A and B are shown apart, each in its own frame.
Chain A
C-alpha cells in the first residue's frame, strides 16, 4: 500500500525501526502504559524500580534498541550518578559519616542517592522504550484515529518536523550576519553583544512563518471538522482497549492508596 511502509522504516529522532512485540503495540496503549509506570515508580522501593529498569532495558534490547539505551544511559545516568554520589554521599553532612581515608561517606546518604538514581533510571528507561519503538507518525495516526483533537496531534508533530528547517534557518542567518561583519569568534562579551543580531531575525522570520503556515492549514481545512479521516491507522486489539482502561483506573487508585496508607 502506498506510503504505508515509509513512516516506520526510517529513523526519526530516537525511533529504531523494527517489528518486535513492543513495536506492534498500539502507541496509545504504550502511552498509557508509560503513564502508569511513571506513576507507579513513585510508589515502589528502589529495588522495585531497579526491576522495572531491568525489564524495560531487556525489552529495549529485544526491540533492537540496545545501543540507543546504552548511549543514553552513559550520557544521562553516568553524570547523574557521579553528581548524586558526591552530593548525597560526601558533601551533605549526616550523622553516620564513615571515614574511608581520603573521603568520608554516609551510608544513609548513599541509600537516599540510590533511591533518587533508580527513580530517574526507571523513568528514563520506560520513556526510552516508548520513543525507540514508536514512530511519531504512527503516534499521530493513533491519536487521530481515537478522536483526539487534531490540534493536539499538531502540537506533537510540528516541533519534531519543523526543528530541522528552523535550525537550517538559524545557520543561514548566522552565516549571513558573519558575511556582513558580525564577530562570532571573539570574547564571550563580543558574542553576547552579537546575540541579538542572530536572535531578532530568527524570531521575526519565525513569526512571519507562523502567519503563513496558519493560512496554509486553513486552506487545507485543518480543524474544519472535529475529526479527521485517518489512513493506515495502527491496529488496536480489544485486549489493548481493556488494558488501557485498567491502567487508567489503576493510576488514581494507586495514588489514592499511597496517600491513604
Chain B
C-alpha cells in the first residue's frame, strides 16, 4: 500500500472557482524524497495542503477523486494519528508558530506535550531536533523575535519532533539568503532516511539538493514525473525555471564541440564537475 495515493483529485476554492488541481494522480512510497515543482499558481501549495491533511475540510471538499494516506482519507484519521503521520512547514515562518510558547524550547515541546508523551521522551526528542536544526543557542529566545531563517528552522524542528512519517515542505527557503538557504537544505538532506519528504518549490536549487524524484506541476496537472532530467526536458520546465546557468554553460561548450555530445547536460555544478573528471580520465 502506498504511503500517499492521490487519485484523480480535482479541487477548487469556492463552489464555482476555477480548478486548482485538475484530475491529479500521484503515488508516493514510504522513504521517497519528492520535489513537486511548478510556477506560481500551478497548484503546489494546494497540493501540499492536501498531502498534509489540511484539506479537505468543511466547505472545501474535492470536486472529484480522493487522497488516501496509508489507504484511508485524512478525515477518517484521529487528530493524534494525523499529527504523528504528517507534518507541514509552510512558506511564511511566523505563521507556523503556535502562539502558545514564550521560548524556542517551549515551542519545540508544544506538539509532543499535546500528544501526552512522558516528559523524558519529550526531552529526548527535543534534544535530537535541537541538534538537527542547529537551535541550541536560541532555546531561551522568544520565537517571535527570531529572524525568518531561524523561525523556519524552528518550524522544521517543531514538525520533526512529532516524529512524522511524512514531512511536507512548501517553499521552505523562499525568503532566505543563499547562505541560510544552503545551510537549511543541508540540514534537510541529513534528516533520517526513512522520513518521506515532499518539497514543493518554485526554485530548482532546493529541489536538486533534497529530492530523488521530481514532479512538474502545470495548471493543476502533473506534466512530468521522474528524474531531474526527465522533468527539465519538458518544455514547461524551461518556461518556468529558465535553464540552470551550469546547463547553459555546458550547452555553449557542446556547441563549441568541447562537451561530450552523448552526455546529459548537467543541472548542478557537482554533476558538471563529475562529467569533466570523467572526460579527463578518458
A interface, CB within 8 angstroms of B = 2-3, 5-7, 9-10, 12, 135-137, 140, 144, 150, 153-154, 157-158, 161-162, 164-165, 209, 212-213, 215-225, 227-231
Contact = CB atoms under 8 A, between A and B. Distances in A.
Contact of B114 (A12, A140, A228): A228
Q: Is the interface of A mostly helix, strand, loop or mixed?
A: helix
B80 A225 contact: yes
A213 B95 contact: yes
Given A2-B139, A7-B103, A220 B78 contact: no
A122 B56 CA distance: 53
A136 B101 CA distance: 10
Contacts of B99: 154, 157-158, 161-162, 213
Interface of B: 52-54, 78-80, 82-84, 86-88, 90, 92, 94-106, 109-119, 122-123, 126-127, 130, 139-142, 144, 158-159, 162
Contacts of A157: 99-102
Pick the 6 closest A-B CB pairs, nearest first: A3-B105, A6-B140, A221-B83, A137-B102, A224-B79, A220-B111
| Centre residue among A135, A157, A164 by max chain B CB count within 10 A | A157
A3 B114 contact: no
Contacts of A6: 102-103, 105, 139-141
Given A224-B78, A227-B116, A229-B113, A219 B87 contact: yes
B83 A219 contact: yes
A135 B52 CA distance: 35
Contact of B111 (A213, A221, A227): A221
Contact of A222 (B114, B116, B119, B139): B114
B122 A224 contact: no
Contacts of B126: 2
A215 B168 CA distance: 14
A137 B106 contact: yes
16 contacts: A2-B127, A3-B106, A6-B141, A10-B140, A157-B101, A158-B100, A161-B102, A162-B99, A209-B95, A218-B82, A219-B86, A221-B115, A224-B80, A225-B116, A229-B112, A231-B109
Contacts of A218: 54, 79, 82-83
A229 B118 contact: yes
B50 to A, nearest CB: 12
Nearest to B158: A220
Contacts of B114: 150, 220-225, 228
Contacts of A3: 103-106, 109, 139-140
A204 to B, nearest CB: 15
A228 B109 CA distance: 11
Given A225-B80, A225-B114, A228-B116, A220 B106 contact: no
